[in-house]
Amino acid sequence: MIKLSRVALALVLLSAAATAVVADDYPSRPITMIVPFAAGGPTDVIGRLLAQNMGQTLGQNVIVEDVTGAAGTVGVGRVAHAPPDGYTLSLGHWSTHVANGAIYKLPYDLLNDLSPITLLPSNPMLIVARGSIPAKDLKELVSWVKDHPNATMGTAGVGSGSHIAGVYFEKLTGAHVQFVPYRGTDPALLDLMAGRIDVMFDQVSEASQKLQDGRIRAFAVTAKTRLPSLPDIPTVDEVGLPGLYINIWYGLWAPKGTPADIIAKLDKAAVAAMADPAVQKRFAELGLDMPPPDQQTPQALGALQKAEIDKWWPIIKAAGIQAE
């Protein structure tokens, strides 16, 4: 029995040493960052900015792979089922890692099958309307919508962030709109600019580029503070709709079971990327809001994801939003 115990102890020590060696050598080959949307979109742009800089810190290439399908669920699932060795990462946001869990029957668990790495920049939404609507501010816009039962609100598709934001708008204001789903944000914005729909919610990084010629107007930003990139646009609190906070925050995850020291290395590399002046400049141009340094942690991302699931899942389910 004594010899067996010694053998068992030796095996435990050998296994621990092997794990330490693997962690110390990490990464020894390129890392794949799965972006669950098409190339060229906001998530892909953020991923490529981070990947290039993280690769320099880690000493290995970080390769962005766009895996599309089912509003991001295919790409996230690819990571959830990958080996927990730190070589397959999930870049996603509020829709993919919160809202989709209430809309789709996922073959994975967003909280239990993924390990948070880093909270990344966020992208608040703007409440925008066609330029010919007579409302002067958000209160008047809400009144106008209530007075027009056929008022239309464009969305980037059923279950998209813009759709859920519209549902929340209805819940807080008592107004009702006719939702018009599109295949993505760009066609919805084009119809808004052309006056074919009345109002919509859209991420700052996209809508802000269309505000220049006056064909659409922004009434508020769905954040607690004004944005440095758009300082003249008031917050929802300032214009009479307190609490209408909708923030498309981004994050980085690994498969559940990824060793803590590998998570720490990845977090350190992501934090270093966000501290790079060139990356910060590009994020600012995209209208992204950087999280404070003490929130750029696995713990902060995990806590935020859990809190957002607790907040949004009941709202989404009560609205009966389901995948088409």
Q: What is the pLDDT of residues 118-140, one digit of tens each?
A: 999 998 899 999 999 999 999 99
pLDDT at position 253 is 98
pLDDT of residue 2 exceeding 70, the answer is no
Q: What is the pLDDT of residues 147-187, one digit of tens each?
A: 998 999 999 888 889 999 999 999 999 999 999 999 888 89
Q: What is the pLDDT of residues 35-73, one digit of tens each?
A: 998 888 889 999 999 999 999 999 999 999 999 988 899
pTM as predicted: 0.85
pLDDT of residue 22 exceeding 60, the answer is no
User: What share of the chain in percent tops pLDDT 70?
Assistant: 93
17 neighbors 46 (Cβ within 8 angstroms): no
261 neighbors 117 (Cβ within 8 angstroms): no
What CA–CA distances, in Å, run from 130 to 73, 135, 157, 189, 198? 32, 10, 19, 9, 6
The two three-digit tokens of residue 212, written as one number: 């220049």
pLDDT of residue 4 exceeding 90, the answer is no
Q: Which of 14-18, 24-28, 45-49, 244-248 has the lowest mean pLDDT?
A: 14-18
Helix ranges (H only) for the chain are 2-25, 42-58, 73-80, 94, 100-103, 138-147, 161-173, 185-193, 204-207, 260-275, 277-285, 298-318
pLDDT of residue 14 exceeding 60, the answer is no
* Residue 10 three-state SS: helix
Confidence of residue 309 (pLDDT cuts 50, 70, 90): very high
Confidence of residue 205 (pLDDT cuts 50, 70, 90): confident
- 94's CB contacts (< 8 A; 6+ apart) are 161, 247, 248, 249, 308
pLDDT of residue 5 exceeding 80, the answer is no
Pairing of strands 199-203, 62-66: unpaired
Domains of the chain and CATH, by start? 29-122+249-318 (3.40.190.150), 124-221 (3.40.190.10)
Q: Which of 145-159, 213-227, 251-265, 269-283 has the lowest mean pLDDT?
A: 213-227
pLDDT at position 20 is 43
Helix (H) or strand (E) holding 91: strand 88-93
Pairing of strands 114-130, 199-203: antiparallel
pLDDT of residue 8 exceeding 80, the answer is no
Q: Which of 63-77, 148-162, 190-204, 211-225 has the lowest mean pLDDT?
A: 211-225
φ/ψ of residue 141, rounded to 5? -65, -45
Distance CA(62)–CA(48), nearest Å, equals: 9
pLDDT at position 23 is 58
